[in-house]
Amino acid sequence: MKNIKTKTSLIIVTLIAIVFTSCENHGLIGIKGTGSVVSENIETSMIEGLNLEIPATVYLSKGEGQSIRIDAQQNILDNIETYVNNEVITIKFDKNVGRHEEIYIYITLAHLKQLTISGSGNISSDSEFTTEDKLMIGISGSGNIDVSADASEVDIDISGSGDIK
């Protein structure tokens, strides 16, 4: 009886070790960032807003030409998905991602109508944006948004912890 308990315990410990070892890079914890930080330029249709769904620091600039650059470890970049809907770019992970180096995103755009953070992240701007439309700013989770804007109407929504300046 004692021998069966020992074998059962050994099998359970081995299975737990296998599960947690496999989780380190692709399992419950998510993909672990490896290698040095690289840059990737993102080509999209015209955007006037951002929906950030990854933990990143975003720097917005006002300019006539549009550009988007993401700085992250290559295997993390490979798991970042971007798509545009109603002139708003969503940036999110394709798969679960664990520990990684800080992700930086640099966006230049001419007009701004929406900024949202889902999860955690930071968005700041060194430019003042002017719009005759409604500007929508929101945080769901935790995050900080620091932008200067002159708009006819501003809609601000914070759900969770966050700071909008």
Q: How far is CA 31 from the centre of its chain?
A: 14
Structure tokens at 148: 């200067």
| pLDDT digits 0-9 by tens, 4-24 | 666 666 566 555 655 554 444
The set of residues, in sequence order, having a beta carbon less than 8 Å from that of 136 and lying 6+ positions away, is: 49, 113, 114, 115, 116, 154, 155, 157
What's the pTM?
Answer: 0.82
Structure tokens at 92: 């999110």
Under 8 Å between Cβ of 48 and 66: no
Under 8 Å between Cβ of 155 and 135: yes
The CATH number of 37-164 is 2.160.20.120
pLDDT for res 164? 86
What does pLDDT average to in each consecutive run of 10 residues of the chain (165 residues)?
60 57 56 95 95 97 95 97 97 94 97 94 94 92 92 91 85
pLDDT for res 34? 94
From CA 161, how far away is CA 85, in angstroms rounded? 26
From CA 72, how far away is CA 52, in angstroms rounded? 15
